[in-house]
């Protein structure tokens, strides 16, 4: 496997994004309601989470149907009214749950990725643990 293959990197990023994108979107609404274009800019600025903009709208639509967010229309001083997305109680609960689970998940992945190619130091009944590395 060539380490620098851009197609493979893109695929890995896409897979990762699928799982975490909705929680990042929820997190963006934690402090205040946001409108669609605003959310997309924030995602874009993050770099790693930047995605084809249009694909975020189906996600927002599902969050709304699942009652994780609510929307309200607000007039704007410039241009058309914007649809603002805000967390519901269950949305906040889902975000809190993810926030709680994420550090352990991240650390576990880090452990696998950085483990030296030797048997893990933890006591294990199976002698084949080294195969993981």
Partner 1 sequence: MKTSADPVRDYLSAVEREASALPADRRQELLADLAEHIEVTRAERPGVATGEILAELGDPRTIAATALSEAGGETAMTEGGAAAPARRGKVHPLVPLLMLTLSLPFTMVFSIGPDAAFDPGPVFGVLFRLIGAVLLCTSVHWTAVQKTTGVLLTVVVPTVLFVTWNLISGWAAPETQALLGSLGALTLITGTSVWLWRTRRV
**Residues of the shown chain interacting with partner 1 in the complex, contacts defined by CB under 8 A:** 35-37, 40, 52-55, 57-62, 65-68, 70-73, 75-76, 78-83, 88-90, 93-94
CB of 73 to partner 1, least distance (A): 5
* β-pair type (69-74, 34-35): unpaired
CB of 21 to partner 1, least distance (A): 11
When the beta carbons of 81 and 130 are compared against partner 1, the nearer one is 81
b/e code 56-71 from CB counts within 10 Å (16+ = b): beeebeebbeeebbeb
Contact 43, 90 (CB under 8 A): no
When the beta carbons of 98 and 129 are compared against partner 1, the nearer one is 98
Residue 115 has which token pair?
A: 């483990």
When the beta carbons of 78 and 126 are compared against partner 1, the nearer one is 78
5-10 LR contacts (CB < 8 Å, sep 24+): none
CB of 57 to partner 1, least distance (A): 4
């Amino acid at each position: 496997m060539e380490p620098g293959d851009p197609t493979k990197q893109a695929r890995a990023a896409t897979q990762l994004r699928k799982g975490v994108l909705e929680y990042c979107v929820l997190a963006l609404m934690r402090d205040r309601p946001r409108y669609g274009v605003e959310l997309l800019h924030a995602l874009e600025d993050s770099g790693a989470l930047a995605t084809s903009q249009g694909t975020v709208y189906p996600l927002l639509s599902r969050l709304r149907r699942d009652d994780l967010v609510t929307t309200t229309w607000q007039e704007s001083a410039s241009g058309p009214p914007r649809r603002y997305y805000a967390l519901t109680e269950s949305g906040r609960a889902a975000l809190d749950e993810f926030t709680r689970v994420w550090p352990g998940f991240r650390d576990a992945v880090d452990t696998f990725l950085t483990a030296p190619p030797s048997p893990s130091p933890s006591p294990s009944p199976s002698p084949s643990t080294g195969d993981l590395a």
